[in-house]
A and B are shown apart, each in its own frame.
Chain A
Amino acid sequence: MKTLSRFKNAFRKLALSATALVALGLSPALAEEINALVWCDHSSPEFLKPFEDASGIKVNVKEFEGTGAGLALLDQSQPGDWDVMVIDSIDVRRGVEKGLFEPLPEDKLPLGDLYPQVVLDAFTKLDGKRYGITEKFGYNTIGFNKDKVDGNDMQTLQSLVSDKYKGRIAIYDYYLPVMGMAALAAGKKTADLTEADLPAIKDVLLKMKANAKLVGEVTASQTALATGEVDILVGGGEWVTAGLAKENPALDFSIPKEGGILWSQSLAMLAASQKKDAALKFIQYVLSSEGQARLATSPCYWGMPSNQKAALTDEQKKVLRFDEQPGFLARAQLYPAPDEKLDKQMQDVWTQMLQAQ
């Protein structure tokens, strides 16, 4: 029985240290909590903590990628589970049509300070009511290392499918923007894509794949570009190069003559939320000049703040190329916005591209 008592002792110690760990880990209790479905740029402590400290509202975040996955997560949840959601601006209506979103009070939001080109009323408003407000935007275009490639080649999407850069390309693994770029390369407009355009798009994709070393998510593709594993990132943009500017100043992006894809993310409030006041406070924080600056320079990825008054340093503005925005915006096209059926077909084409040898 001596062994048993030794075991007991060991276990008691374990239990004690576990308790101590739990006690250490408990943060001071906050009065209120909201649950937010977000992209990775919203989950850093640098972004959330100032809000939590100032408002006493704790923000629980769950990351997801893509509107399809986000809506599926809502499907799997109980009404009231979620208070705030980040969503592609062009997809706000998909949520509204499902009755998921609550109208936002325009008078309590700094709408006048936003870049008018990214507010996208056509997608974020319905029947005169605002359901989404753009918080951050940027471009999916060509990210590259200017020391390694010819800058002139980066002015056209055709360079991505030519032999010149074979084995020096990475493709960002998100089907919507990259298929949008493929559509531009094939001379189509992203706004009116149909099933009939898919073969041409697939053709471009397969040529890009043949040139590509990898198809990577945010990190993998960022790293590949930053460490010199590849020289070009299809789908890249300031969201890749700006955050890495310190590490590798040679990283740059261009918006080629065919155009680039504008991404724009919005915040929406869930209609079933039980904590609408707290949720609104959070949305107000995100759109405030401080919140905008922190969101724009998130460690996950950088992007343009939608609020022109974002409290960014001159250095940061330079990296984000604040001054050139009007020209960029003029040439950019929106993300493709497929319906459910076309979405599935597009993803199948994407799967075929991944699987192609």
Chain B
Amino acid sequence: MTQSANASGGAVPWVAVGPALLWTLAFFAAPFIAMALVSVTVKGGGFSLANYQQFFTDPSYYRALFNSLEVTALVTVISILLAYPFAWILAEQIPERWQRLALILAILPFWTSYVVRSYSWLLVLAEKGVVNNTLVQLGLISEPIQLANTRFATVTGFVHFFVMLLTLTIFANLKQLSPSYRKAAADLGAGPVRTFLHIILPLTLPGIMVGAFLTFVLATGDYITPQILGGNNELLMPQLIMLQIGRRGDFPLASALSILLMLVVTVAYLACARWLKIERA
């Protein structure tokens, strides 16, 4: 530990950490408090729990939270299942000198604009879009099938992003594993399957969990992807929140919904907390 290096620095350390602390208090903690206060009023009125009451009693409101959780769960599981083998191929099957290039290629679409990425999927999945067009021309289907404007489209848009993200975190994790683990396992007579289940998988769990948590936070809070791809056939939580702002300027209701969403994310955070510590080298 280096904290012993200079235990007492007088005012110096406070000058150093002060700005960041104050910034966080002023523009993160204070907004949260403001939101909490506003959430227990009604638009143009005084104190009231009507917003929370509406959420818990109106099925079309709490349904949005369930929708969000269902979509996020689907996205997380599919993304991990797709990304893990891919990261493994990148880390183990591709010659060392090409790995960097292979990885950069695998995450290159990160750098398309986030709004544009969902829009591109709309083009791909549209009734007259690339996928349907190809399938019809190949004679695999006779009529275009509805892919866009569905939950399937929303999930696809999300999975695309999170496969890239999870590939990155799992790849980094796999690269940290010492080859000697595998060798030791093999020396002890473990086959590849047992080596994977008992050695590799547990050791890469932190990479998976970090990725899964990021997926959870980003997917439950994302407005663009469901809004562009879901065709409003169902509402997710962020869409419900933005609807309150966009249509009526109803800050109190939007605040209450935001706070409920944040509570859910906090529970997920506590569940994953042990894998998410920020350590110093």
- 10 tightest A-B CB contacts, nearest first: A72-B249, A214-B231, A215-B232, A214-B149, A355-B60, A229-B127, A68-B248, A352-B60, A351-B60, A227-B128
Contact status B249-A354, CB under 8 Å: no
Whether a CB of chain A sits under 8 angstroms from the CB of B235 is yes
Contact status B248-A69, CB under 8 Å: yes
- Distance in angstroms from A290 CB to nearest chain B CB is 33
- Distance in angstroms from B157 CB to nearest chain A CB is 14
Q: Which residues of B contact A (CB under 8 A)?
A: 44, 58-61, 63-64, 126-128, 146, 148-149, 231-235, 240, 243, 245-251
Interface size on A, residues (CB 8 A): 34
Q: How far is the CA of A356 from the CA of B67 in the complex (A)?
A: 12
Whether a CB of chain B sits under 8 angstroms from the CB of A33 is no
From B127, B233, B248, A215 is in contact (CB under 8 Å) with B233
- Distance in angstroms from A346 CB to nearest chain B CB is 10
Given A69-B247, A69-B248, A343-B248, residue A216 in contact with residue B232 (CB < 8 A)? yes
Q: How far is the CA of A352 from the CA of B63 in the complex (A)?
A: 10
Task: List 9 additional A-B contacts (Cβ < 8 Å) besides A65-B247, A215-B232, A351-B243.
Answer: A69-B247, A73-B249, A173-B232, A227-B126, A347-B243, A352-B59, A352-B60, A354-B235, A355-B234
Whether a CB of chain B sits under 8 angstroms from the CB of A125 is no
- Distance in angstroms from B260 CB to nearest chain A CB is 16
Contact status B149-A213, CB under 8 Å: yes
Whether a CB of chain B sits under 8 angstroms from the CB of A228 is yes
Contact status B126-A347, CB under 8 Å: no
Residue of B at shortest CB range from A355?
B60
When distances are taken between beta carbons in the complex, the residues of chain B under 8 Å from A343 are 248
Residue of B at shortest CB range from A73?
B249
Q: How far is the CA of A72 from the CA of B245 in the complex (A)?
A: 9
When distances are taken between beta carbons in the complex, the residues of chain A under 8 Å from B248 are 68-69, 72, 343-344, 347
Q: Mark A200-234, 1 if CB is under 8 A from B, else 0.
A: 00000000000011111000100110011100000
Whether a CB of chain B sits under 8 angstroms from the CB of A348 is yes
Q: Mark A165-186, 1 if CB is under 8 A from B, else 0.
A: 0010000010100000000000
